[in-house]
Amino acid sequence: MAKIEVAWDAYLNETVDALPDGLLLASLDAEGQPNAMAIGWGTVGIVWGRAMFVALVRHSRYTFDCVQATGDFTVNVPYAHQADAVALCGTVSGRDRDKFAECGFTAVDSGMVKTPHIGECALVYECQVVQSTDVVPENFDPAIISEFYADGDFHRIYFGEILRVLADEGFGA
Amino acid sequence: MAKIEVAWDAYLNETVDALPDGLLLASLDAEGQPNAMAIGWGTVGIVWGRAMFVALVRHSRYTFDCVQATGDFTVNVPYAHQADAVALCGTVSGRDRDKFAECGFTAVDSGMVKTPHIGECALVYECQVVQSTDVVPENFDPAIISEFYADGDFHRIYFGEILRVLADEGFGA
């Protein structure tokens, strides 16, 4: 479907409300192969006077290596009917599997960043990393440590400046 | 005006769109005195399965000492007619001045956190800090360093779990 550029904050509610079902964070590996990770966490707003998508990626993930190398990513908001693809992207690693191919995703060149976006998704945020920092284990609420970090595999926090947002024509209408 | 509890994501767009005009981050000092800082930056979403407001505070600020001590804050969305109060809160320090008194703000007990909220504001996020970490100077886009950090006064990033959101009855209607 043809995508049109929209204001960065045109679909804030739709994006945040889709998090519990999973968004797809796409990245590009050293061989130029796109990869997609399911994310249920993220925040959106303004920092340093720039529109920002804040994403968290565990150091162990293939996506971590990719984003560290390229310094960019895309956040793709899927349609409800793509739930199986989201589930696949949330359970296998791009180290071993070509998730774009298995999901039938088309890697569409992004205008503003190196990482492509997923042609079949409804809405896309093209994000350039302008700051990254790690969570501080000793600064966590203990309940969060036991729930998410029992294995010590902590997250890096990426502040991705939203350079462009594309939406399927008619999305949200 | 009487406030009612609303869903944490009921006014995402209104909150993010108000950032350029300034929100008020309230905190409580060691003497139990409330303080308010104007913020133009922030992100909202879901992290660790919890609704989250991400706020940045420079280490030099009085608010920094306050949030470090209490581990909580409130984010207050003002009405347009409160622009003068926001401007005052953005230019003087709570170390020297009682900004609540000067702005004619009522410190209303928050139900979920130690920091009070501002009775006269339209919308309030009661936030408990569940993670804090510092920006990493060497991981910044150089343009951001020269624009915001020429003096080396960097920000701490606070992840405030949104425990409750209160809105004036009729706000946004």
- List, in order of start, the domains of chain B with CATH numbers: 3-168 (2.30.110.10)
What are the structure tokens assigned to A48, written together? Answer: 């340093």
Q: What is the pLDDT of residue B58?
A: 97
DSSP letter, residue A82 = G
**pLDDT band per the 50, 70, 90 thresholds, residue A117:** very high
Longest dimension (CA), chain A: 47
Question: Chain A interface residues facing chain B, Cβ-Cβ under 8 Å?
Answer: 9, 12-13, 16-17, 19-20, 40-49, 52, 54, 56, 128, 130-136, 139-141, 144, 147-148, 157, 161
Interchain pair A131, B147: CB under 8 A: no
Distance CA(B57)–CA(A30), nearest Å, equals 36
Question: Looking at residue A171, what is its pLDDT?
Answer: 87
Contacts with B46 from chain A: Cβ below 8 Å: 16, 19-20, 40-43
| Higher-pLDDT residue of A122, A170 | A122
pLDDT at B170: 83
Residue B134 and residue A130: Cβ atoms within 8 Å? no
Q: What is the pLDDT of residue B173?
A: 64
Q: Is B43's CB within 8 Å of A45's CB?
A: yes
Which of A97-101, A163-167, B28-32 is modeled with the greatest confidence?
A163-167
| pLDDT for residue A173 | 64
ipTM of the complex: 0.96
Confidence band for B2, pLDDT divided at 50, 70 and 90: confident
Burial A61-81 (b: 16+ CB within 10 A, else e): bbbbbbbeebbbbbbbbbeee
CB contact under 8 A, A13 and B9: yes
The phi and psi torsions of A89 (rounded to 5 degrees) equal -65, -20
Distance from CA of residue A108 to its chain's centroid?
15
Element (H, E) at B12: helix B12-18
Instruction: Report chain B residues whose CB lies below 8 A from the CB of A128.
Output: 141
Residue range A25-44: mean pLDDT, rounded: 96
Q: How far apart are CA A30 and CA A67, in angstroms?
A: 10
Task: Give B40 to chain A, closest Cα distance, Å.
Answer: 8
Q: Which residues of chain B neighbour A140 with C-beta distances below 8 Å? A: 130-131
State the Cα–Cα distance between residues A144 and A90, nearest whole angstrom. 20
Mutation test of the interface with chain A: which of B13, B17, B43, B56, choosing the one with the most A Cβ atoms within 10 A?
B43
How would residue A2 be classed by pLDDT, with cut points 50, 70 and 90? confident
In tens, the pLDDT along A18-29 reads: 999 999 999 999
Q: What is the pLDDT of residue A18?
A: 96
Looking at the complex, report in whole angstroms how far the Cα of residue A57 sits from the nearest Cα belonging to chain B: 11
Question: pLDDT (tens digit, 9 = 90+) per residue, B83-119?
Answer: 999 999 999 898 989 999 999 999 999 989 999 999 9
Convert the pLDDT of each residue in B138-170 to its tens digit: 999 899 999 999 999 999 999 999 999 999 998
Residue B17 pLDDT > 70: yes
Mark yes or no for CB contact A140/B131 under 8 Å.
yes
How far apart are the C-alpha atoms of B169 and B6, rounded to whole Å? 10
